[in-house]
Amino acid sequence: MDATATASVAAGSDGDVGMTEAAAGGGGSDNEGEDNWDNVASGSEEDNDGFGGGSDDDGGGYSDGGDAEAEADEDNDDDGGDDEDDDDEDRDMIILCSSSVGRWERYEAALEAAEAAEATKRALSSSQDVARKRQIFAPREAFAMLSRELTDFMRSGNTEMAIETAGDDLYHWLVDLGSFDPASQLGKDMREVSRRYCYSSVRLRLRFMRGLHPFFPPSVEVVWPHLAGPLLGAVASHPLLALENWDPWRPALAAVAQIKAFLEAHARVDLDNPANDIRRHPTSTYSPLERSLARLEALSGMPPVAAAQPDVAALYAAREDYERDTARLAALAEGGKKRARAEAATGAAATAAAGALAGARGREVVWARGTGYGSGSRTGESWNVEASQAAQAARDEEIRGLLAVMASALAWELGAEGPAVAGTEAAAAEQAGATEVSGSAAADGPQQQRGKAEAMEGVETEATASDAGGSGGRGSGAGASSGAGTSGFSSQGDEPLLGPGGCAEVIRASCLLPFLARELRGASFSDMGSRNSYYTALLTVIRELCRTSTAELLWSPAEQPRSPADAGAAGAPGGSSRGSGSSLAGLVTGSLRSAARLYLNVLAPSAGAPPPPGPGATTAAAPGPNVASTSAAASALPAPLRPIDKAAVAAQKAAIEADATQRMARMIGQIVEYLERHRPPPAQQQQGGAAGAADLSAHEASGRGAEAERTASGAAASTSAASGSGAGGSSATAVYLATLKPLQVDAVPDLCRSHHYASQARGEMAAPRTRAVRLAKEIASLESLLPLSESSSVFVRVDETAVHVWKALIVGPEDTPYSGGCFLFDFYFPPQYPGVPPQVHLLTTGGGRVRFNPNLYAEGKVCLSLLGTWSGDKGETWNSEVSTAVQVLISIQSLIMVPQPYFNEPSYEAQTDERGKTMSRDYSKNVRENCVRYAMLDVLRHPPVSLAEVVRQHFRLRREPLLRQIDSWADEGQAHDAAHAGRLREMRRELAALMSAL
């Protein structure tokens, strides 16, 4: 076996520069570079010396140079000498493999011990959890499989690639690819690289997911050379590496071969880029910003903006041309579905027995789920709140660490003075707290970001923690791995720099701007507050872009191609799945600024409140002479004897969250202040500045967060805008939305003066901060979460001095007996909120004479499992962590105000025969008549003061559709009840007269 190839598989520091024989001599001619092409470079001579336990003196070492091999050839010309050398090489290879396996096992055992000592188990993202469910191997079995694959490769004598581990971490590979087709463009470029920079391999970094291998794909990163175009991101996000395409039964080396084939067919080297000199840039020929953008592309699943260009679209489409076993992948996916069905069937077993005892039988669901009465066809499935939150937190942490590295990279690239917003008045007051995520990146330097850098790799954060703890005496083990992380920075200046212009260029072509826009547009402020560390990281990146050289990016349209294939089919740059032309600046200066300002205003009255007591606090007494002794006595008690004050724990948690969310809100203010002071002329904004005005339509088009919350409440069907007929209908819809949107949420004085819960609100002895913090988030989110359309809308008023008192107006959904009616509700949030649900009272009852629904009583009671006024399945009842007042409003709108409310009555759902249909028709007939009488005529004659303008504008703009609707109801009822039809026609005339006067 060739000595050079043997040495190349040795484990060593990934920061070492590998060279061919010609490179070791300080360069060489073109011929020398070509002669050594098959000798793939790897570790340095120093690192590769002495592997296998020997040294140069005893013959146990493996030198990386070609001199040892040449001398051996000269001294062993006869056949006997050759056989003896072969035996020595075989023996040394066995020693090398055994030594490597031993080091890997010791490193793995240390990690397992560290994990066992941790109190909490690391959460998994949703995709990682899918792989966990597919995993059939124990951790040690998976380790043995990967170890065997690597040692088998070491013994194979393969000269087309070389593999080494980063330190002693078996799950972190450095792969050097060589022997490219000499006729390919990459092969030609690599010969030029060999001549200029004295290395001849393409290095890849692979990170496997510990505990999930082989069922979770590794992350792949190009280390060197610097390839032309978007190849770094194209490799990182290669479809082969997507979970749905990953084949766990194929060796990892097969995936490497596929990546190599893709590079050989499509890659070119950016030969004139000075970063290709790996003696100056041994960590990577790509800057930290470029690497983090490529990793973001892989994690987010978003193609880069550059994929709208035909040539880049063709490159991305070419990635689909790889070998795959579609039948095996389909079987793997089907196996997951079967497991899910089996788990659901297990969960349904208990309810099936109860259903049999109750005489339940399989029947069609004919009423709205979620109203507390069950469906008669429950499957036992429910939303696992804790699992969902854990998966979201794991995904957030993965991307948050990546964004932190990106923010630090921007600070390092764009200058140590910090972003331009740091000079504003708002920033001066907030500078100490607002840099929680990125820290003083410019002042600290990049070296301090190594721990965060591991998150950019996407997987092994625990390895970093182990490395940081030190592993003295391990040699090339954990310490070497940590020092060689491609994502980290180096204070020795070995990282390539792009400069301000280069940063702007790579960001403009990447997926960063569309990703930031998607995340901010799709989030409510409540969600942002609950996940404040994640959104603070997003905003920190935006803040770092608030500089002269990059600010124009924030005003440019944040467009995302539909997909590489679609972009290629479009055949023109700039194709976008969204025609809104929205910009990040438009989003931040629009609804996000409004929400942040509202949040800070709501919390302002309690801003000076003292910090809440800790979890062990047993008294809430005011400070006095006995406080110190009381605290000392309490702390002297044994920990198990002190009861846990859940209220104090919740208050402390709320205070921490409020502090972080207020910093985030003030950071938004900083960014807005800078953007307003540096707003470019309209011609330069490329319609980006119009995003603030168009934010509503953009939010409805892609508001994933809001839609997710609505869907969780079952409200998606009722929040879509009514489709107008022709241009006139579209115009009327636009006018309705534009007129009513500014009226949707408002804070008004003296709301308690005419409120059902006024006495409870006035009788409160304290204003808990936990409630204030939670309500601040919810109020700030109302504008983005409340539905607004011609078909149905929700409006809210908040008492400006008592934010726990609300009044709401729900416009009945179309195609229901409540259509177009204005139904008023009073909301009260007791001091225990959010530990308990809000109290809700219906005001539109005809003075206590009308029961509009089995769930809406004449005395005003609202029967809903979410409110605790009726029992419900798990996932339907109030959850203090995720349930909100918006969910209550939308549940009433879409789950109570349904097309056939008769079937909301308990046990009536089984009446699917003709008699049941007749009863339902008669019930809806009465609801329609009372809707016109009390939810239209009465509310128009006596509108609530705080919502009077909403009532007037609603009936003014919906005049004709509402009159046509009443005509339709009258015609439909004529055949069954002529008196009912007559009453409807009479009320129609009254309503038409009132609306004509508006």
What are the two backbone dihedrals, phi and then psi, of residue 12, each rounded to the nearest 5 degrees? -160, -175
DSSP 62: -
Assess contact for 440 and 399: CB atoms under 8 A: no
DSSP string across 880-905: TTT--HHHHHHHIIIIIS-S-GGGGS
Long-range contacts of 963-971 (CB under 8 A, 24+ apart): 963/988, 963/991, 963/992, 963/995, 965/819, 965/820, 966/932, 966/991, 969/928
Tokens of 129: 């959890």
DSSP 8-state secondary structure symbol assigned to residue 793: -
Q: Which amino acid is at 297?
A: E
Q: Are 783 and 744 in contact (CB under 8 A)?
A: yes
What gap in Å lies between CA 62 and CA 93, rounded to an integer?
Answer: 10
DSSP 92-125: HHHHHHHHHHHHHHHHHHHHHHHHHH-SSPPP--
> How many CB atoms neighbour CB 67 within 10 A?
11
Integer-rounded Cα Rg, in Å, for the chain is 33
Q: Reduced to 3 states, what is the DSSP secondary structure of residue 649?
A: helix
Place of tokens 């609801």: 927
Q: At what angle do helices 593-603 and 646-677 cross, to 10 degrees?
A: 140
Identify the bridge partners of residue 808 per DSSP, sorted by sequence position. Answer: 796, 825
CA distances from 63 to 1, 85, 161, 579, 837 (A): 13, 15, 18, 61, 72
Residue 80, phi-psi category: left (phi > 0), alpha (psi -120 to 50), beta (remainder): alpha
Listing from the earlier edge strand, what are the strands of the sheet with 745-748?
745-748, 794-799, 805-811, 822-828, 839-842
Please give the Cα distance from 282 to 279 (Å, whole number).
6
DSSP class of 814 = T
Read off φ and ψ for residue 860, nearest 5 degrees.
Answer: 100, -5
* Alpha-carbon span 516 to 508, nearest angstrom: 12
User: What would the 3-class secondary structure string for 573-617 be?
Assistant: CCCCCCCCCCEHHHHHHHHHHHHHHHHHHHHHHHCCCCCCCCCCC
CA distance 344 to 338: 10
Burial class of residue 879, CB neighbours in 10 A (0-12, 13-18, 19+) = middle
The reply to whether 546 belongs to the active site is: no
Q: Is 52 in a helix, a strand, or coil?
A: coil
Q: Which helix (H) or strand (E) holds 841?
A: strand 839-842
Q: Tokens for 278?
A: 């790996």
List the catalytic residue out of 97, 503, 752, 863: 863
Q: Could you give the C-alpha distances from 151 to 96, 136, 158, 173, 215, in angstroms and in order? A: 9, 23, 12, 13, 21
List Cβ neighbours of 41 (8 Å cut-off, separation of 6 or more): 8, 17, 18, 19, 20, 23, 162, 176, 199, 200, 201
886 within 8 A of 782, measured Cβ to Cβ:
yes
Q: How far is CA 105 from CA 59, 112, 113, in A?
A: 26, 10, 12
Question: How far apart (Å, rounded) are the C-alpha atoms in residues 188 and 200?
Answer: 11
Query: What are residue 985's phi and psi, to 5 degrees?
Result: -65, -35
Catalytic residue annotation: 863
